[in-house]
Structure 1
Amino acid sequence: MGWLALALLTGLNLFNFIDRYVLPGAQPLIQKQFHANDAQMGLLTNAFFFVYMLAAPLTGWLGDRLPRKPLIVAGAVLWSVATLLTGVVHSYTALLIRHAIVGVGEATFSVFAPALLADYFPESARNRVYSLFYLTIPVGGAIGYILGGVLGQHYGWRAPFYVSAAPGLLIALLLWWLVEEAPRGQADRYAATWERNTLRGLFRNKLFWSATLGLATWTFAVGGLSAFLPTFFVRFGGDSVARAGLLAGAITVVAGIGGTALGGWLGQLWLRRNAGGLYLISAWGSLLAIPAGMLVFFGPRGLLFPAALVAELLLFLGTGPLNASIVNSVAAPVRSTAIALNLLTIHLLGDAFSPALIGLVSDHSSLRIGMSMTLFALVLSGGLLFLGGRLMNLAARAAA
């Protein structure tokens, strides 16, 4: 049952991210129709994450008290219908409202799905499980970019939203019919200490907060990059909207799959020798991506594509390990609340405002300068995650 649940939840997560990244793929076309500047386009992403963040605390509270499966299905239906209805908006304001509504549905899924998966698999297996589950971020992002850019250019920007909405509804129904929810906490093996098992303890849980803040600064960088990468290719690579979408999609899917798979494998190997291995692989990924990012923003045009590929591959190394670290840092009674608090924090400090900030700086200087702010965020991410690795090693020695 655990592997069936993983397969269906992974499928839902795929269309979660396809729906999210269709907009950046078609962004130049939408921007032209609604005569919007870069700051307004960044505000669309801000509206999504603002509502996403507001919904997260409530969903976490519900997830620790109610069955997760019906809540997951309801969220998937909501975001799929909202995506479908994008095709009937005819003003920037309506598009802004629609994008905000999608945030409610995606917040429920993003909290409940990882918490439910933790009840099927023990801590030792979760790095592999979440590496598979979060492979959908690059794959869904790539497909979203491609659908948005290619279908948008040939059939109008509304077409990709129609195409991406229906599969999420179908998978949600299969989940409802086929999956039996696991008893809460059945797979946990770690001791349920005060820091791991209570809401008050969560706020003093150093392992949780080092991973969460490290992920927040990483999210600032990745959220800003994902919102403007196709537009950057159009402006500085000389590409058409369709080609920019294809390039961004190709980079994201190749680097994302490669980086997530490689990071999960290396993290598992490192974990055998070092209790903080999952934190450390994530830290090195953030720091090593900085030189490649500098080449993307300020290097010659000929290096734009390969440098972006290398930067994204390194950034995705920590996808599975870091999410497994967050889930493993807390026990089942507060796990949904912890994931909700993590989501609130990473988006509040990360991509809830980084696209709008990048757009604002771009409007007053250039998109190169705006996007280069992501490099400073990666420095902070690496430092916080190295701290988390040290704390994990200290905790392991104390428990030995």
Structure 2
Amino acid sequence: MKLNNRWLVVFMLWTVCFLNYADRQAIFVVFPLFEREFSLNNFYLGVLSASFMGTYAITGPLAGWACDRLPRRNLVIGALVLWSAMTALSSLAHTYTQLLLGIAMAGVGEAFYFPSAMSLISDYHAVDTRSRAMAFHQSGVYAGSIIGGWLAGVLGQRIGWRIGFRGFGGAGILLGLLLYLLLREPPRGLSDPNVGPIPRGGGFWQSLCDLAANRIARLLVVVFIGANFVAMVFTVWMPTYLFTRFHLSLSVAGLSGTAYMQIASILGVILGGIAADSGVRHGSGPGATRMRVQAMGLLCAVPALCLSGWATRVAYVLAAMVGFGLCKGVYEASLWASLHDVVPIEQRGSSVGLMNSLGWLGAAGAQLLVGYASERFSMGACLSATAIIYFCIAVTLLYSARLTQREGISQTSAT
């Protein structure tokens, strides 16, 4: 596979990832409009976002298992069309229950995307470029969140939230048709030529049991649950926090609540990907090297998280978001590459599906917890308290890196 083709695949998947997160952020930014139209408080808004994350999480293990057995190209395209259609249909909702159902079904579609996309990238990119390839793909998360948040805020403020939902949904369906013509399925294990024939994975429950028995994979899942908990607290609630605490307009709150953090994350993910791949090329074990880089990103984010909820000026909050976003990007650059370093090739899809599932269960819990706690305490206190979670998972990740190096896990191999 030529270099330009390998990176072209990553770019095509980047566009899907961009729309994936643009759709999500469009939902979160217009919370104040949902609150007014459907007479909701923070708890019911939390239930709304938790419905998306909950169905996403429940579907995740099945999506990962399917990824290891079915053409990943078809799963990527099918997922894109399904969640886009559900986003567009949600614009027709006239009751809270209808809106809840539409957003929940969008979560089912999105669950099938990431396991297949990460598996495709690992087949096109070997260990010495995998972090950078996945880091570039991850930048689509941040770009989609920025553009989605901004557009949803502008459209919501001027002509209502329904137009934005229809626009994002229609764009996704059109992109799905284009990818049907362009995206190709590679042989499994293409970038790992020394591992021999790739065996077919076992049954659904056997795959889950095999992954549960992998100690380092378990630790990476625990870290991801904590990291996703924190990330989604800020992604979901920061625009609303800026709108209510500092009385910004909806469009400005939607843009500011996402852009500062996500633009910094783009820089962080690039730096993290370069640092991780550089360490791999210089002889360190891929898994341990990537985990140490990730842990440093988490530790450096702790002061910014502390500041975010206690700052009394918008400028200080946004500065904290820049620091948090930069460090979060360093962690997320090797998020899936680290997992692929410690699981067999035939379980790459299942491992991402399970990790994604449990991580988003944590994110769903975060919405319910913050929605409830903010009614009793303050949203600022909830935001600052997330620093404790980041510190704990950073220590866990350093311990995982030590175990990985001690046990000599240096590359993914088929079993």
Structure 2 portions without partners, runs of 5+: none
Question: Which SS does the other structure have where 1:135 is aligned?
Answer: helix
One-letter identity of the residue aligned with 2:32: P
Distance in 2 between the 1:119 and 1:108 partners? 18
- Quote how far apart the aligned CAs of 1:377 are: 1.6
* Counterpart residue number, 1:339: 352
- Quote how far apart the aligned CAs of 1:392 are: 2.3
Q: Are 1:228 and 2:232 counterparts?
A: no
Over 3 Å counting, the alpha-carbon distance change for 1:116 and 1:382 in structure 2 is: same
Question: Which SS does the other structure have where 1:351 is aligned?
Answer: helix
Over 3 Å counting, the alpha-carbon distance change for 1:156 and 1:59 in structure 2 is: same
Distance in 1 between the 2:319 and 2:327 partners? 13
* Counterpart residue number, 1:123: 127
Structure 1 portions without partners, runs of 5+: none
- Quote how far apart the aligned CAs of 1:67 are: 1.2
Distance in 2 between the 1:237 and 1:263 partners? 33
* Counterpart residue number, 1:109: 113
One-letter identity of the residue aligned with 2:327: L
Question: Which SS does the other structure have where 1:134 is aligned?
Answer: helix
One-letter identity of the residue aligned with 1:219: N
Q: Are 1:288 and 2:300 counterparts?
A: yes
* Counterpart residue number, 1:171: 175
* Counterpart residue number, 2:263: 254
* Counterpart residue number, 2:274: 265
Question: Which SS does the other structure have where 2:230 is aligned?
Answer: helix
Which residue of the other structure, out of 340, 351, 355, is the alignment partner of 2:363? 351
Which residue of the other structure, out of 10, 33, 50, is the alignment partner of 1:46? 50
Q: Are 1:310 and 2:323 counterparts?
A: yes
Distance in 2 between the 1:264 and 1:394 partners? 23
Segment of structure 1 superposing worse, 201-210 or 5-14: 201-210
Over 3 Å counting, the alpha-carbon distance change for 1:389 and 1:253 in structure 2 is: same
Distance in 1 between the 2:249 and 2:410 partners? 57
One-letter identity of the residue aligned with 1:248: G
TM-superposition CA deviations, 1:151-174 (whole Å, max 9, x none): 110111212112212222222222
Q: TM-score, normalised by structure 2?
A: 0.90
Task: Give the count of matched residue pairs.
Answer: 396
One-letter identity of the residue aligned with 2:359: I
* Counterpart residue number, 1:392: 404
Give 1:61-100 correspondences, 5 Å limit. Answer: 61-100=65-104
Question: Which SS does the other structure have where 1:238 is aligned?
Answer: coil
- Quote how far apart the aligned CAs of 1:297 are: 0.5
- Quote how far apart the aligned CAs of 1:233 are: 0.9
Over 3 Å counting, the alpha-carbon distance change for 1:190 and 1:330 in structure 2 is: farther
Does the 8 A contact of 2:26 with 2:149 survive in 1?
Answer: yes
One-letter identity of the residue aligned with 2:34: I
- Quote how far apart the aligned CAs of 1:189 are: 5.3
TM-superposition CA deviations, 1:299-328 (whole Å, max 9, x none): 231411111211121112111212211122
- Quote how far apart the aligned CAs of 1:219 are: 0.6
Does the 8 A contact of 1:139 with 1:252 survive in 2?
Answer: no
* Counterpart residue number, 2:140: 136
TM-superposition CA deviations, 1:267-293 (whole Å, max 9, x none): 223343643221112112112211111
One-letter identity of the residue aligned with 2:140: T
* Counterpart residue number, 1:4: 8
Q: In percent, how many aligned pairs have the same letter?
A: 29
Which residue of the other structure, out of 12, 29, 49, is the alignment partner of 1:25? 29
Over 3 Å counting, the alpha-carbon distance change for 1:392 and 1:165 in structure 2 is: same
Does the 8 A contact of 1:278 with 1:325 survive in 2?
Answer: yes
Does the 8 A contact of 1:2 with 1:121 survive in 2?
Answer: yes
TM-superposition CA deviations, 1:66-93 (whole Å, max 9, x none): 1111121111110011111121111111
Does the 8 A contact of 1:14 with 1:136 survive in 2?
Answer: yes
Q: Are 1:319 and 2:332 counterparts?
A: yes
